[in-house]
Structure 1
Amino acid sequence: MGITGLYELPEDEKEAYWLAWFCVDPEFRGKKLGSTLIDLMIKKAKEGKTYLRLYTSSGPIEKTARALYEKRGFVTTKVEKGIDNGYDKIYMELKLK
């Protein structure tokens, strides 16, 4: 169906969780599963952090995910051009508090 998770990085572990492995099986897309997963991760991150961060790609396969992140209030904080198989690596964050 879908998978996601949170992790911490040593350099910002006191203030942020990072969203990882965000994926919904094609058979279950369009059924609000992605929205449910991201909302659960936001709720969990609010329990102890100030930010929820992630990185994604400018590639076409990530277009729907980027739209979901933006709809939830994530903003782009950094872009590394051409890093991810020729696509841009896009860093985003959501301020939780």
Structure 2
Amino acid sequence: HGRVNAYAGEYDDALAALEKALALLGEPERNDDRAGEWAECVRLAGAVEGLYLERPAPALTRLDAAVSHLTALGHTEETEPLISLAARLRDEE
């Protein structure tokens, strides 16, 4: 629903749906197959919040926390898109 709402330009609804998805998924653990799905939800939420709703500070907080969490668990591959989006948001500030 988050992605569909974002495509429709309903950014507040998109962010709410993505936050609900993140709550339902729960934070990933060390040997968790959901880490990639969780990271993608975080990335989409960060993009909606930072780019479309033009709120880069909370988006960066979200992305940086996710990168730290995933890195601590050893899910470094999943951090790459998050790091890339955070760099883009910092460049636009």
Q: What TM-score bracket applies, with the shorter chain setting the length?
A: 0.3 to 0.5
More strand by share: 1
TM-score of the superposed pair, with normalisation by structure 2:
0.36
